Every structure is written in structure tokens, then in C-alpha cells.
Amino acid sequence: MNINPRIFRGYDLRGLVGKDLSPEVAEHLGRAYGTYMKRHGITRLVVGRDSRATGPTYSAALIQGLLWTGAEVVDIGMTLVGTFYWSQYHLTCKGGVFVSASHNPPEYNGFKFANDFSETLVSDGMQELRRMVQEEDYEEGPVHGSVAVQDIREEYYRDLLSRIMIGKKLRVVVDASCSTAGAFAPDLLRRAGCEVIEKNCEVDPSFPLGVADPTSSIIATRVRGEVLEAHADIGFTYDADGDRIGIVDEKGDIIWNDVLTAIFATDVLHNHPGATIMYNILCSKTVEETIVRHRGIPFMWRVGHSFLKKKNQEIGAAFIGELSGHFFFSKDFYNHDDGLYATLRLLSYLARTQQTLSQAVAVLPHYASSPEIKVYCADENKEALIKKISPILRTAYPDAQVIDDERAGDGVRLNLPDAMFVVRYSQNGPYLTIKFEGKTNERYHELAKFIHDLLKKFPEIDWNSSINLNVEALKEEGE
């Protein structure tokens, strides 16, 4: 089959609806993936999807392809991707597919392909799937499979609530940006004993408020106003498939997720002294310093939740955190990210320690830190552009510790005594990601201007793309 090879990314598949993706493509993907899993001895598969408009159509076509190979399918319908991973254990399905394009704009959709409990295909596996589709290397089952529709929501809620008790009635704002989490998070939090103020929890596949991305300054600023208006203890927002969260404290301050990683590390090390805590290269120096302060073992690894999960099979970290808002409580839950589990876990920590969120943040090492910034660069140019930028950074900061080995994976990180910054290309979209911080506001603004002026030299970057995120953190420094 003729298919755009670039939609097969580092740890999932994402493409444009009507251009890269169609029901026909989805059915071919089902035939390829069903064949791939059958060759690995797995024929029982679970299928779920988020709230995107094409989700039902693509999910149905995918299932037809899976059934053609003889697979037995459990269709759990619209749900969160963390619930999908949880369902693998509940339904005893090592394989499965979740239909989602995560935080990409509504004109995209995609697929995550599970190949074990809490695990998904990455790199080589994704490229093998690409080859199979292109060559139509499929095996029809001697008997076509069957599909069972099952709602697992109640069992999922019961399991989470049996694991985590909050112990205090907290007033919580939930802003789901009209995406999937709106159908789940408020209900669960009320069952956990919280008073919930719902904002934008009506599911609307058109994304009327824009892309549901908890790392967006625009969304975080909106939640800030909602928290202050409601006199709430905390505000939560989620991405379209609900595995990532964003938070605002009771004072309306936006707390970026690397700082939340440090808070979670503190909580985990209380229960698991001396444990390894894994985090990605985009995270603030606050994270490593907090882990060391609490006598844990810091371990930094490349960006990408599937890469982190895979590495954790070797490292055995008790917890993994990402700037993007993926959190894995591997020692206490499963080795996958789950936005609702992370939500309950944070509320439980605040109740147990009798702190507000602002008090929990105040005791951490402080850096003036940027949000996660994304600037458009075409897929065919982004890797080459990083190779151009890397030597410039080395020359500009000759005394910096440069991390550009397998820990960086797809970019470069520079550590300085009073600062750090990262420039990398994305595995799942046409953009570069930038993160920087300084010990003082002056140092922060100096780095922001340097990075802005550097990137402005390259025509490969489109500063006006709809994919861009938080670019105002750079633009205001250079223009």
C-alpha cells in the first residue's frame, strides 16, 4: 500500500486526516499490526480511542483489519490512554491499539500500538510495521476473529480509589479543554471526596478552545483565572487522551511539570527511600537537586514516554517524570503514565503533608524557567537543523557540560553552574522543542535572547505555524 512513511514516528503513528490517514489506511494498519502480533504469539487485543472526530470511524476500520487476521478484540470505546493501558492487565491483553494523536491539532489523528503490558512499539518496531503496510505483508486468519464491546470504567475507578485515599475534602477545578478527560476526571474526583468545579468538560471533537495541551501557557493562564474565581485549592488540565496533566496552585501560579516531577519525587522517596528517579533531559535542574536532597538516585534519559518506559525495564526506577506531564509511578502502580492516577496522587500528597501546592513548591530549589517551547520545523529538515545548531552552542558556551549522547537522543542539553538549556527535535511532530532556565531572572532573559537570536538565523523555522507553542517566551526577548 502506498502510505506516507513519515507518519511512522519514534513511538507512535500520527498523520493528517484525509491526507495521510483514512478508513482504508486504518484497516491496512489493523491487518499489519494483527499479523505482527500473531507472529509474536499474541492474538487477544484491546482497542480504545480518544474523543477526536475521526476516532469512531478509524477505530472501526482498524478493528476490521484486526479481525481479518483472526484476532480476538475487546473494544473499550472512548476512554483515556491510561485507562487503555490499565485495561491490558484487567482484560489480560498484552496487545492493543489506542486511536489518538495526543496533543496534535484536530486535523490529525494517530495510533499507539501496544506490544506488551504497559509497552508500545518504538523505533524498530514502528519501522517494521511501516514495511509490512507498504509491502502488504499480511496473514489472513483461517477463521476471522470476533469483537466484544466492554465498558471498563467502573472497574477502573474502583481500582484507583482502592489504591489512593485523599483524606481531605479539596476544592478542585478541572478544565479538560473540551476533550476526553472531561468525561472522566470530574466523576472520579467526586468519588474521591473532592468538590469539583467543572470548566470546559463537555466533550467537543472540534477542539473549540484549541489544542488540549497542558503545557500551553494560554491554557494554564485560563485555568489560573478559573482557580482564583472559584477560590479553589488547585486546578488541573489534561491533554486530548488524558495521560498528561497541567496544574495551577491556589494562588493562581502556573506550576510547570518538571517542578511537579520534583514534588512527586519527594513523595515517592518518602515511601521508597534510596530509590532511582528517572526524568527526561528537558527537566529543570530543580529535579536532580531535589532527588539528591532526599537521598534518591537521579537518572536522566531522553524525551519520549515509550523510550523512558523501555529504559525502565533496565533501570527499575520507582518513578519517572517528564516536563510534558507524563508521570509513571512504576513502583506503586504500573510502568505507564496515567493522568488520573497522577491527579489523585498529587491530591493525596498535599492532604497527607497538610500543605498547599504553593507551600510544596516553595521548599524546592528555585530557577526562573521557561515553559516547553515548540517551533515548527518540517520533518525532513529538523534533524539536520539540530546538527547545525549543536556546534554553535558548543562554541558559544565552551565551559558548559554538553549532553548529546544517548541520554539526549534527538538533541543537545547544556548544563551551566547557574543555568541550563535544551534544543531538540520532536519524534512525533514537525517541530523543535526548547527549554531553558536561569538561577536569576537576568540569567533567564539572557538565555532567552540568545536562543531567540540563534533560531532566527535559520529559515527552516516557521514562527507563525499553528503547531508553535509558547513561542512568546522567546519572541518577547528578541522583538
- Give the whole-angstrom CA distance, residue 119 versus residue 115: 6
Q: Domain locations in the chain?
A: 5-152, 169-254, 257-362, 368-478
- Give the whole-angstrom CA distance, residue 302 versus residue 409: 5
pLDDT of residue 310: 84
pLDDT of residue 409: 83
Residue type, 11: Y
Q: What is the pLDDT of residues 273-316, one digit of tens each?
A: 999 999 999 999 999 999 999 999 999 999 887 788 889 989 99
- Superfamily classification of domain 169-254: Alpha-D-Glucose-1,6-Bisphosphate, subunit A, domain 3 (3.40.120.10)
Handedness of CA 341, 264, 406, 368 (dihedral sign): positive
pLDDT of residue 476: 61
Q: What is the pLDDT of residues 342-365, one digit of tens each?
A: 999 999 999 999 999 999 999 999
Q: What is the pLDDT of residues 139-150, one digit of tens each?
A: 999 999 999 999
Arch. (CATH architecture) of 257-362: 3-Layer(aba) Sandwich (3.40)
Of 321, 327, 437, the C-alpha closest to 373 is: 437
Q: Which residues are catalytic?
A: 14, 102, 326
- Span 54-70, mean pLDDT? 98
Whether pLDDT at 477 is above 70: no
* 5-152: in CATH 3.40.120.10: yes
pLDDT of residue 428: 77
Of 51, 10, 13, 56, the C-alpha closest to 33 is: 13
Task: Please report which residue ranges of 397-471 form alpha helices under DSSP H.
Answer: 441-455
Q: What is the pLDDT of residues 6-23, one digit of tens each?
A: 999 888 999 999 999 999
Q: What is the pLDDT of residues 76-130, one digit of tens each?
A: 999 999 999 999 999 999 999 999 998 888 999 999 999 999 999 988 999 999 9
Beta strand pairing call for 327-328 and 419-425: unpaired
- With vertex at residue 253, the alpha carbon angle to CA 434 and CA 333, rounded to the nearest 5 degrees, is 75
Whether pLDDT at 441 is above 90: yes
Q: What is the pLDDT of residues 237-248, one digit of tens each?
A: 999 999 999 999
Q: What is the pLDDT of residues 163-221, one digit of tens each?
A: 999 989 999 999 999 999 999 999 999 999 999 999 999 999 999 999 899 989 999 99
pLDDT of residue 429: 83
Write the DSSP assignment of 366-377 as a string of letters. --EE---EEEEE
Write the DSSP assignment of 96-121 as a string of letters. EEEE--TTS-TTEEEEEEEEETTEE-
% of the chain beyond a pLDDT of 70 = 99
- Asked whether this chain's domains 169-254 and 368-478 adopt the same fold, the reply is no
Q: What class has domain 368-478? A: alpha beta
Helix, strand, coil content of the chain in percent (nearest 5): 40, 25, 35
